Amino acid sequence: MLEAISKWIPLYMSGAIEPYYYPKKRDGTFSRTIFVAPKKAAISANSLGPMADNITNILFQEEMAVESLREEFNAYLDMCKPLMHIFTYKNRNEYFRSLNEFEKEVENTLLKGSELSLVTMPDNVAKSILERSRVKNKKELMDYYYLRRENFFNVIKSKKITEIIRVDHVLNIKNGFSRIPYAGINSLSGITYTPSEYKDHLKNIVSILKQYENYNFIIEKTTSYVDYRLYVKEDLGAFIKRNQKPYVVFATKEANITAALWDYLNLSSKDNKSDKKVVIKNLQKLIGELEEVMTP
């Protein structure tokens, strides 16, 4: 699924494609395909179950026939819902609003990525990163950060949040190669953690693990960088973020995609899971190693 999304990214980035789906039951026996270039031509095809490779495609160029197929296409489109919303830097305010609504929902949550999360970042680190950035609206971004933190802590009071994160190697952190989590703001995308900031972020994760039973942090066993950040709420929806340029975020509420991503992350959490005490011990070990390399 992620590979397919990756190959379609150039077209999605153009803003020329909007995917929709029919939300109600389909029998799967008959299939119907229509391509329409209004006032020019149309192609129509019908198939029966297993005969998809042996169907007849009919080209229409007569004006009334093309118009009739256009009306049929639009009538079906009216019965459909958006399969996913696509966000780029150009519509980042819409992305912020959608993400806020998503994070307000109190549901069990799974997240997998190659960077630490913005919601577990302590205040001093968020302020330090913004101070080093060239963004002008620092107050607005801090308000956005506080809002996401508030949503996060509201959820873990009653529902489980599990993060599966690839924790960076101490040498990468020391040399300033550890990326901050992409927050939908391109001007922050080139900034990396200082060793002190990464250490403080890890300390805050340990503090949250000790304080909240519903929060779990799983250290991803694979060390390779993952291109996508997957963020799923059970039976609700998912956000899929591309971690590299061109940055793009996909949001969906389609039940089958949500269930597939949830099951994938659930299996991943079981494959990587360790006792919470062991996770805390491993994080504290990395914190100690960072303190050693930071010592003059």
Identify the residue whose tokens are 């009216």: 78
Segment 143-156 shows an average pLDDT of 95
pLDDT at position 54 is 76
Reading the block at residue 151, the tokens are 């949503």
173 or 248: whose pLDDT is higher? 173
Distance CA(127)–CA(146), nearest Å, equals 11
3-state secondary structure 42-97: EEEEEEEHHHHHHCCEEEECCHHHHHHHHHHHHHHHHCCEECCEEECHHHHHHHHH
pLDDT band at 208 (very low <50, low <70, confident <90, very high): very high
Q: Average model confidence (pLDDT) for the chain?
A: 88
In order of their start, the domains of the chain are: 29-81 (no CATH), 85-294 (3.30.870.10)
- Cβ neighbours around 25 below 10 Å, total: 6
Range 28-56 average pLDDT: 87
The distance of Cα 176 from the centroid of its chain, to the nearest Å, equals 25
User: At residue 21, what are phi and psi to the nearest 5 degrees?
Assistant: -145, 155
More confident residue, 280 or 1: 280
Helix (H) and strand (E) counts in the chain: 9, 12
Share of the chain above pLDDT 70, in %: 94
Asked if 261 and 230 count as a contact pair (C-beta separation under 8 A), the reply is: yes
42-51, 121-130, 163-172, 233-242: the lowest-pLDDT one: 42-51
- The DSSP call for residue 85 is E
Instruction: Provide the sign of the torsion angle of the four alpha carbons 164, 243, 85, 76, taken in this order.
Output: negative
Token code pair at residue 267: 């299996």
**Given strand 41-48, what is the order of strands in its sheet?**
30-37, 41-48, 57-60
pLDDT(164) > 60:
yes
pLDDT tops 80 at residue 276: yes
Reported as half-sphere exposure (CB side, CA atoms, 13 A), residue 258 has a value of 16
- Taking only the tens place, the pLDDT of each residue in 190-206 is 788 999 999 999 999 99
Model-level pTM?
Answer: 0.83
C-alpha span between 81 and 48 (Å, rounded):
25
Q: What residues does 21 pair with on adjacent strands?
A: 81
What are the tens digits of pLDDT across the range 73-102?
A: 999 999 999 888 888 777 888 888 999 999
Angle at 239 (CA atoms; ends 234, 244), nearest 5 degrees:
145
What percent of the chain shows pLDDT beyond 90? 53
Query: Which residues are registered as beta bridge partners of 255?
Result: none
Q: Where is mean pLDDT largest: 1-10, 119-128, 267-276?
A: 119-128
The helix-helix angle for 123-132 and 138-155 (nearest 10°) equals 150
234 and 262 Cβ atoms separated by less than 8 Å: yes
Beta carbons of 107 and 157 less than 8 angstroms apart: no
The predicted structure's pLDDT at residue 40: 96
CA distance 117 to 29: 45
